[in-house]
Structures are given as C-alpha cells and as structure tokens.
Amino acid sequence: AFLYTEPHLRHVELDVLIPKKMREKARERCTEQVEAFTHCCKETGLLMVFKCREENTALKECLIKHFTDPEVFEMCKKEYLQEKEEFQRTGIRLKKRKEMLSKST
C-alpha cells in the first residue's frame, strides 16, 4: 500500500509564500467589496476615512474570512506544492511559464 506523507514545508513557505497565495485568493473572492470601497474612495476623496467606514469594514471582514479559512489554506498549499514540484521538474518558474505560454498563442 502506498502511504502519502506530507512534504516538509520550510518556515518561509508556511509563513510567507502560502499566505501570499491566500491573500491573492481572498482578494479574488472579495472583488465586490474591493470595488465598493474603491468606488467610495474615488467619490469622496480625502473624506474617505470618515465616509467609507462601512465599505472598509465589509472589505476587511471579507478578506479576513478567506485569509483565515482552513480550506483556503489547504487549497493554496496544494497549489504551491504543485508549482514547486513543476519548478523542480522543469527549472522554470510559474510566472516565466505563463509568459512563455502567452507569447506562444
């Protein structure tokens, strides 16, 4: 029987790289709140600190909800490990691979 073992993750992977992916996912999932806050800020200018509190609170709550979700962590960890494995196999970073693909189409 094959036994799957969790790969050892370095401190930088757990505390920096995977959380970076989680922040990106949170922003993607909170686009409505990001747009509402951005719109409010553009409308009110310097008064945004006072007039956009509601939008700011909604945005923060959405981001925190996704950033602290264990399922999001597991999904981002899985994506990170796949990208790491691909890099180890090919020697090409994900960003460079995406650039190469966009140029070939």
66 lies in some domain = yes
Structure confidence at residue 1 (pLDDT)? 47
88 lies in some domain = yes
Query: Which residues neighbour 21 within 8 Å (Cβ) at sequence distance 6 or greater?
Result: 76, 79, 80
Q: How far apart are CA 49 and CA 78, in angstroms?
A: 38
Q: At residue 2, does pLDDT exceed 60?
A: no
4 lies in some domain = no
- What residues make up the domain containing 18? 11-104
Mean of the pLDDT values across residues 71-76?
94
1 lies in some domain = no
Residue among 56, 63, 29 nearest 40 (CA): 56
Domain total of the chain: 1
5 lies in some domain = no
6 lies in some domain = no
Per-residue pLDDT tens digits for 30-63:
999 999 999 999 998 888 888 999 999 999 999 9
Q: How far apart are CA 7 and CA 59, in angstroms?
A: 34
